[in-house]
């Protein structure tokens, strides 16, 4: 698993191709991004090819992976303490709204959670994934996949649209 393993034709393939998915995450979401915490929202075309990756760095303080609010920072309004569930929803909703109003029909999204910490799925990861699924469903946009990237490991999260390839990624 490394971006150096990407085949030369990776940009012509759908991001759901299990042969390239985690390597593509490694290319787009750097180790620095993962160490600081980030949210990746990738815009994909009708064929599932990556058109534009967006990586939003977490506010100072990074992601709060404590058990409160499924690991996302409580909605206290404290500045500089990482993403809240509302921050995640707003970011994904903003991109989804833009897609529904301006993109070609069939456009889709991928969400990547970049964070430090343990190299397995947390409640915060699951909650962020649920938010992404809800927002995409509300906009009628396919969520092609979701992943978690830590400095040590990258893995796909299972989703209805990607159930078959998520298991093998």
Nearest-angstrom CA–CA distance, 67 and 75: 14
N-term to C-term CA, the chain: 10
Q: What is the mean pLDDT of residues 58-71?
A: 53
The CATH class for the domain spanning 23-168 reads alpha beta
Nearest-angstrom CA–CA distance, 111 and 119: 17
Nearest-angstrom CA–CA distance, 58 and 80: 9
Q: What is the mean pLDDT of residues 62-72?
A: 44
Question: Which of 86-90, 139-143, 158-162 shows the lowest per-residue confidence on average (mean pLDDT)?
Answer: 158-162
At which residue do the structure tokens 């962020």 appear? 128
Asked if the model's pLDDT at residue 166 lies above 50, the reply is no
Q: What is the mean pLDDT of residues 41-66?
A: 83
Q: What is the mean pLDDT of residues 4-9?
A: 87
For 23-46, how does the pLDDT look when each residue is reduced to its tens digit (9 = 90+)?
A: 999 999 999 999 999 999 999 999
Q: Which one-letter DSSP state was computed for residue 150?
A: -
Give the relative orientation of helices 85-102 and 123-139 as an angle to the nearest 10 degrees.
30
Asked if the model's pLDDT at residue 50 lies above 90, the reply is yes
Q: What is the mean pLDDT of residues 36-58?
A: 95
Closest CA to 50 of 130, 132, 126, 110: 110
Asked if the model's pLDDT at residue 134 lies above 60, the reply is yes
| Number of helices (H), then strands (E), in the chain | 5, 5
Percent of the chain with pLDDT over 70: 80
Nearest-angstrom CA–CA distance, 146 and 132: 9
pLDDT of residue 76: 40
């Amino acid at each position: 698993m490394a971006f150096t393993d990407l085949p030369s034709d990776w940009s012509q393939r759908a991001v759901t191709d299990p042969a390239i998915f985690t390597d593509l995450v490694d290319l787009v979401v750097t180790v620095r991004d993962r160490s600081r915490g980030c949210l990746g929202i990738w815009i994909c075309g009708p064929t599932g090819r990556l058109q534009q990756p967006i990586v939003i760095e977490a506010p100072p303080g990074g992601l709060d992976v404590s058990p409160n609010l499924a690991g996302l920072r409580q909605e206290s309004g404290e500045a500089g303490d990482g993403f809240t569930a509302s921050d995640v929803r707003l970011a994904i909703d903003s991109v989804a709204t833009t897609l529904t109003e301006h993109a070609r029909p069939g456009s889709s999204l991928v969400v990547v959670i970049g964070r430090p910490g343990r190299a397995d799925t947390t409640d915060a990861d699951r909650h962020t994934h649920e938010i992404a699924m809800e927002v995409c469903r509300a906009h009628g946009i396919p969520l092609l996949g979701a992943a978690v990237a830590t400095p040590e490991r990258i893995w796909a999260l299972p989703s209805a649209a990607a159930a078959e390839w998520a298991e093998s990624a």
